[in-house]
Structure 1
Amino acid sequence: MTAKVITDDVEALSVAAALAEEFRVGAPERDAERRLPGPELDRLSASGLLAVTVPAAHGGADVRQETLAEIFRLLASADASLAQIPQSHFVYVNVIRRQGTDEQKEFFFGEVLAGRRFGNAQSEAGTRHVQDIRTRLKPRPDGSYVLTGVKQYATGALFAHWIPVLARAEDDNLQVAYVPRDAEGVTVVDDWDGMGQRTTASGTVRLDAVHVPADRVLPHHLTFQGPQLHGAVAQLLHAAIDTGIAGGALAEAVEFVRAKSRPWFESGAETAAEDPLLIQRFGELALQVRASEALLRDAARTVDAARADLTDNSAAEASIAVASAKVQAAQAAVEVASSLFEVSGTRSALDSLGLHRHWRDARTHTLHDPSRWKIQHIGRYVLNGTRPPRHGLL
């Protein structure tokens, strides 16, 4: 596989904008038919976008987090399922950046620059909570490992070249094992049945005594032993996806009302776009989208500032800024995607139009982790100066 090498932030945003417009065209049909976006992901790989966070020392553009968030916002405004698939890719590129040895960085950053994709195998069903990881890495006499477990909600795994797997070693410390998608003992099952994000193929990964060389395992538990931005970066991308959904839904509502809606007879307006009550509602929805976009930019800039000077305080500021953006974006995505029908009228509910995909995507994606806990951490920080905890969901 060959991929273009993007050199800077400006080029990255230009490529992302062009791809978003390309992906927008087929998004309703892919959703309606649950047609998995293999060709589109190959286009994404070839574009070089998947390598934009590779450090400059290893040949990458090392773009700002503000740029990365905007890339995800653009893609999600076109197709939220497609935008969700590479979210874990960037998270696990970040793990290599922080915890990889020089040799691991050289190898895996080379893979990323060549266009190869990381999936994920993180979550497990039937455990006590999301942090309860039962998948195990058992050492072998030669220093390698045997990996065994079952993972759910494995977005990106079906399309991946490498599947990063969260697992616990014998000492119960959390590790990430980078496993080839086609390794013996790896089975990826396309059993995702979500009402939204239908083409993410977020199904099951089964790991049956998979052999893992020692140099394919990274000590993820060390990530959380000091100031870190792992969770902030991961959540920033989720916030960008929600913000993109809200913006995409508003844009479709505007287009529909201008072209296809009729004014309510009591308004006295000649067109739906001149109806004063619709104008009022569009103003309210636009404020939600603008607030989400502004908080997303602010959060990304705060993460960038923390990357430049990482301390307990700067990491806390970044986590709180991202949490604020995520809460606002989640609320906006659900409200705007639902209100699309309110402002567009009865015809907009036709299944053949596919406008409901925005609401289904919003409602599904915003369930990823609860906003109520983010609000708790924001309140504790503002009122008592309590720094948020160090984990990957904040």
Structure 2
Amino acid sequence: MTAKVIADDAEALAVATAFADEFRTGASARDAERRLPRTELDRLSDSGLLAVTVPAGHGGADVRQETLAEIFRRLASADASLAQIPQNHFVYVNVIRAQGTDRQREFFFGEVLAGRRFGNAQSEAGTRHVQDIRTRLTSRSDGSYLLSGVKHYCTGALFSDWIPVLARAEDDNLHVAYVPAGAAGLTVVDDWDGMGQRTTASGTVRLDEVTVPADRVVPHHLTFRGPQLHGAVAQLLHAAIDAGIAAGALAEAAEFVRTRSRPWFESGADTAAEDPLLVQRFGELSLKVRASEALLGVAARAVDAARDDLTDASAAEASLAVAAAKAHTATTAVEVADALFEVSGTRAALDSANLHRHWRDARTHTLHDPARWKLQHLGRYVLNGTKPPRHGLL
């Protein structure tokens, strides 16, 4: 398997823009038919776009996080499901960067540059809370491990070459085990039936005493013992997806009003696009989308600044900036996707139009983690100077 290698940030953005324009055309049909985007993902891999965060020392472009966030925003404005699938891929490339050994970095970065994809097997259902991880790595006498557990919401796993699995070792510390697709004892089940993000295949992964060599296991717990950006990077990409959903919904609403809506008779306007009340409402929605995009940019630049000089203070600022962006983009995505019907009228509710996919995607994706806790951390910092905690969701 070979893939193109993207040279720099400008090329990465150009490739993302071209794919967004192309993928937008079939997004509604893929959603309506739940047609999984294997071909589209293969094209992303072949283009080199999924390798743009590989460090320069290993042959990658090592793009800025501001660039990566914009890549996700543009892709999500076209197809939110397709954009969400590689989110975990970049998160687990980052895990290798943070805690991988030199040998692990050389191997896995080589895999990514060749076009191979990481999925994820992280979340579990039925536990006390999201960080109550019960999947276990049990050491063997030869230094390898046995991995057992059941994972849910495993976005990307069905399409991946490697499935990073979050698990606890016998000392209860968190590790990530990188398991190759097709490994004995590994089962990936396409049982995702969410109302939105329909083509992410965010189903179940079962692990029944999967053998994992020691050099495929990374000590993830060490990431959180000092200043870290793991959570900020992961959340930044989620915020970018929400910002993209909002932008896509607003653009489709505007196109619908221009081409398919009738003016309200009391407006005196010749077209719906000239109705002053609709003009006002579109201005309000545009303001919210622009504000979300601005906060996303501020957050991405804060993450970049912290990567350049990582301290407790810079990591905290990055996490808080991302929290602000995530809270705003989540609210905006749901509001704009809902307002699409308000401004477009009755015909927009026809199932054949499938405009409700924007709302379904926004409502589903924004459930990933609660925005109310982002506000808690922002408030605690403003009032009491309390730095945000070190975990993977902030």
Q: Is the structural similarity TM-score above 0.5?
A: yes
Q: Which residue of the partner structure matches residue 20 of structure 2?
A: 20
Asked if 1:53 is matched to 2:62, the reply is no
Amino acid at match of 2:276: P
Distance 1:149 1:22 in 2: 39
State the TM-score, normalizing by the size of structure 1: 1.00
Amino acid at match of 1:165: V
Q: Which residue of the partner structure matches residue 247 of structure 2?
A: 247
Secondary structure of 1:199's partner?
helix
Could you tell me how far 1:180 is from its partner in structure 2? 0.4
Distance 1:14 1:382 in 2: 39
Distance 2:155 2:99 in 1: 23
Equivalences for residues 150-165 of structure 1 within 5 A = 150-165=150-165
Q: Which residue of the partner structure matches residue 377 of structure 1?
A: 377
Distance 1:129 1:331 in 2: 23
Equivalences for residues 244-283 of structure 1 within 5 A = 244-283=244-283
Equivalences for residues 351-362 of structure 1 within 5 A = 351-362=351-362
Secondary structure of 1:165's partner?
strand
**Number of residue-to-residue matches in the alignment:** 394
Could you tell me how far 1:383 is from its partner in structure 2? 1.3
Q: Which residue of the partner structure matches residue 138 of structure 2?
A: 138
Could you tell me how far 1:181 is from its partner in structure 2? 1.1
Could you tell me how far 1:133 is from its partner in structure 2? 0.4
State the TM-score, normalizing by the size of structure 2: 1.00
Could you tell me how far 1:382 is from its partner in structure 2? 1.1
Distance 1:99 1:83 in 2: 26
Could you tell me how far 1:239 is from its partner in structure 2? 0.1
Write out per-residue CA displacement over residues 154-186 of structure 1, whole angstroms, 9 at most, x where no aligned residue. 000000000000000000000000000110110
Secondary structure of 2:148's partner?
strand
Q: Which residue of the partner structure matches residue 296 of structure 1?
A: 296
Q: Percent identity between the aligned chains?
A: 83
Could you tell me how far 1:205 is from its partner in structure 2? 0.1
Q: Which residue of the partner structure matches residue 85 of structure 2?
A: 85
Secondary structure of 1:147's partner?
strand
Any runs of at least 4 consecutive aligned residues in structure 1 with deviations exceeding 6 A, and if so which? none
Secondary structure of 1:208's partner?
strand
Distance 1:216 1:260 in 2: 55
- Listed as ranges, the gaps of 5+ residues in structure 1 are none
Equivalences for residues 1-394 of structure 1 within 5 A = 1-394=1-394
Distance 1:360 1:99 in 2: 36
Write out per-residue CA displacement over residues 271-316 of structure 1, whole angstroms, 9 at most, x where no aligned residue. 0011010001000000010000000000000000000000000000
| Backbone CA RMSD of aligned residues | 0.4
Distance 2:183 2:40 in 1: 24
Distance 2:294 2:193 in 1: 33
Amino acid at match of 1:276: P
Secondary structure of 1:166's partner?
strand
Could you tell me how far 1:137 is from its partner in structure 2? 0.3
Secondary structure of 1:285's partner?
helix
Amino acid at match of 1:258: R
Secondary structure of 1:195's partner?
coil
Distance 1:47 1:356 in 2: 31
Could you tell me how far 1:258 is from its partner in structure 2? 0.4
Write out per-residue CA displacement over residues 93-133 of structure 1, whole angstroms, 9 at most, x where no aligned residue. 00000100000000000000000000000000110000000
- Listed as ranges, the gaps of 5+ residues in structure 2 are none
Distance 2:342 2:115 in 1: 42
Secondary structure of 1:183's partner?
coil
Amino acid at match of 1:250: L
Could you tell me how far 1:2 is from its partner in structure 2? 1.3
Could you tell me how far 1:224 is from its partner in structure 2? 0.2
Secondary structure of 1:227's partner?
coil
Secondary structure of 2:199's partner?
coil
Distance 1:382 1:20 in 2: 38
Write out per-residue CA displacement over residues 242-297 of structure 1, whole angstroms, 9 at most, x where no aligned residue. 00000000000010000110000000100001101000100000001000000000
Could you tell me how far 1:32 is from its partner in structure 2? 0.2
Amino acid at match of 2:26: G
Could you tell me how far 1:5 is from its partner in structure 2? 0.1
